[in-house]
Amino acid sequence: MEQKQKRGLLLGLTALLALGAFFLRQAQLRTAYDESGMIRPGAGLGIFTWYTIGAVLLLAALAFFLAKRQDYGAIASRSPLTAIVICLAAFGTVIGSIMQYLSPEKSVDTILALLSLFAGICWLMMGLCGLQGKRLHPLFYFLPVIAYGARLALDFRSLSSDPVILDYCYDLLALIFTMCALLELGAFAFDRGRRRRTVFFALGGVFFCAAALADASLTEAASTGGALLYLFAEAAVLLKPVKKQ
């Protein structure tokens, strides 16, 4: 039986790493540019870069030693606290999608806003049905994947036109880790989950979402914050102690 202390330790460590990522990213952005708005030489290779590498390797190592589990029960929880956090994540995502829908942007952003709205509704259903002990259809786990996949493709197309990787790499990493975590979580709906890999992507997603929040707009902060809360809640459920087979 895995020790219960490991769950709290790993979640607490992730929270501290994410908090550090947020403040170090802010510090990096404050010192990365000169008075003319140009990036300073070597600004992207500061302490935050090495902090990120160390954090990801540490989370990967800790996730590697978890017991394996692949059944749907690994992501099922009737905890009121878990339901509240997931519902808050859904609320943030819905608010972000509404703000994006109302913004005077291109039609493609309208489509993305609707996909994000569906993702928020799916998370709301997960929180409420989980509290009642009901098993959701796998579709509810994969609709959010479509939303974040579309967002990743659109953001990469727009952000990669900027030659300064410092501006967008952490935003893209947040989307990549979030989408990978959502895909892995969806596999549990078919009793084909991979607990170690899912925990790694979920906790890594929390880390990079925190970093992305450091320079996010209000609309992005709502959506990114929602993803952060959802991944943290699901990671907490996955880290429940289990018997090794």
pLDDT of 176 reads 93
- The pLDDT score that the predictor gives to residue 41 is 53
In whole angstroms, give the CA distance from residue 68 to residue 9.
19
pLDDT of residue 181: 96
Residue for token pair 């489509």: 111
pTM: 0.88
What stretches in the chain show pLDDT beneath 50?
Answer: 1, 245
Express each pLDDT in 145-180 by its tens digit: 998 888 888 877 766 665 555 556 888 899 999 999
pLDDT score for 245: 46
pLDDT computed for residue 137 by the predictor: 87
DSSP string, the chain: ---HHHHHHHHHHHHHHHHHHHHHHHHHHHHSB-TTSPBPTTGGGSHHHHHHHHHHHHHHHHHHTSPP--SGGGG----HHHHHHHHHHHHHHHHHHHHHHHSS--HHHHHHHHHHHHHHHHHHHHHHHHHTTPPPPTHHHHHHHHHHHHHHHHHHHHHTTSS-GGGTHHHHHHHHHHHHHHHHHHHHTTT---HHHHHHHHHHHHHHHHHHHTT--HHHHHHHHHHHHHHHHHHHHHTS-----
Beta bridge partners of residue 39, listed in sequence order = 33
Q: Output the pLDDT for position 44.
A: 54
Domain ranges of the chain: 4-238
